[in-house]
Amino acid sequence: MRIRRLSVAVLLLVAVAGCSSSSPVAKDSKPAPVTAASPLHPTAAPTTAFPVGERNITANCGTMGVMLVNIWYPAASVGTDTPFATGEFPAVLFSHGFDLIPGNYYLLLKTWAADGITVIAPNFPHTAAGSTDYDTDDLVNQPAEASCALTKALADPILRAHVDASRIAAAGHSGGALTTVGLFSGDRDPRLIAGVVLAGGTLGLKTYAGSPAPILFVHGTKDPTVLYSLGQHAYTTDPWPKAFLTLPGETHLDPYTNPNDSALATVIATTTDFLRWLLYGDVTAKARLATDAKPAGQLAQDWGAAG
C-alpha cells in the first residue's frame, strides 16, 4: 500500500508541474475521425427510461494487455446479455479510478444506460482493483488502453449493430479522469465529441488537441487526493466549450460512488443532462444544467460557440 501511495503522489506532482512524462506510451492503430451530420447529432432523445442490460467482452490489446470490458446498455429487458432496445444509441467510454472497477460507479453508469447511452467501461490491466500486476505508473498508458478497448468494443457484432459510432463521449474519475483528459491530448482519440472529468487534472499531458469537444469538469472542494486546485487548473487551461461543477465540502470518492451521499444525485443529474445535450442534441437538457447542480453544487458555464 505504501508503494501505491508513493506512485500516486509522484503522478500528481507531475500534474502540478505540467511536465511531459518520459514513460513510453503504447499505441493501438489510430482510429479514423468520424464525420458527423451535425455537431450535436440531433437524434430524438429518449422520453422514458430503458431497462438496463449488462454484457462483458474481452479486449485483447496486445502489448497493452487483455482487459475485461463491462458494458451497460439500453435493453429490451433487464438482465445479462438481454437484447438491446430497438435502434442505435450513443456511447460513453468510462475510465475507473485507481484500485477501483467500473462496478463501483454502478448507480451513475446504470442511469446513463437507462437514459439511452451505452456505457463501455474497461478494467485497466494495471490499475483496476484486484490486478495481479498493479502499477499506478501505467496511468500514462491508459489513454491508449482506453482507445483500444473502445475499438474492440465497437467491433463486437452486437454493439456494432446498436452503437452509433458518430456519437461517443469519454468520462472518467480520478486516475480515469486523468485518462479522459489524455484522450483529448496530442494523441487524441478523434471519435470523441464530449468529455466528463470527475475529480481529475491534466497529468502534464499535451492536452486539448484536435477538434474542440465540450467538457464538463466536476470536483469536490475537500478532495484530499486530487486537489480542487488541480481540477480548476484543468478547467481554466481548457480552451474549448466547458463547464465546472463545484461540490462544496465533498471529497474524492463519495460523490461518485456512495448512494448515501446527497451529492451523487447532483452528479448523476448534471452529467446525464450534459450527455443528453451533446449526444442527443437535447437543448432542454442543456437548459436544466444550472438547476441540476443545486442544491449540492455550483455550476460555472463557458460554452462559447457551443452555447
Residue 184 burial by CB count (10 A; 0-12/13-18/19+): exposed, middle or buried? Answer: buried
CATH code, domain with 223: 3.40.50.1820
Question: What does the pLDDT read at residue 43?
Answer: 67
> Is 49 a domain residue?
no
Given a contact cutoff of 8 angstroms between Cβ atoms, the answer to whether 114 and 85 are in contact is no
Question: What does the pLDDT read at residue 149?
Answer: 97
**Segments forming the whole domain that contains residue 297:** 2-17+54-306
Number of domains in the chain: 1
Q: How many whole angstroms from its chain centre is CA 77? A: 25
> Is 137 a domain residue?
yes
22-31, 52-61, 87-96, 264-273: least confidently modelled range: 22-31
Question: What does the pLDDT read at residue 23?
Answer: 30
The model's pLDDT over 152-178, given as tens digits with 9 standing for 90+, comes to: 999 999 999 999 999 999 999 999 999
Q: Which carries the bigger pLDDT value, residue 65 or residue 199?
A: 199
The CB-side HSE value for 133 (13 A sphere, CA atoms) comes to 9
| Axis-axis angle for helices 283-292, 262-280 (nearest 10) | 160
> Is 30 a domain residue?
no
Give the type of residue at 281.
G
> Is 27 a domain residue?
no
> Is 48 a domain residue?
no
> Is 43 a domain residue?
no
> Is 283 a domain residue?
yes
Rounded percentage of the chain residues whose pLDDT exceeds 70: 84
pLDDT at 206 over 70: no
Label each residue of 228-275 as H, E or C.
Answer: HHHHHHHHHCCCCCEEEEEECCCCCCHHHHCCCCHHHHHHHHHHHHHH
> Is 200 a domain residue?
yes
The model's pLDDT over 17-57, given as tens digits with 9 standing for 90+, comes to: 333 332 333 333 344 433 333 333 446 899 999 999 999 99
Question: What does the pLDDT read at residue 127?
Answer: 96
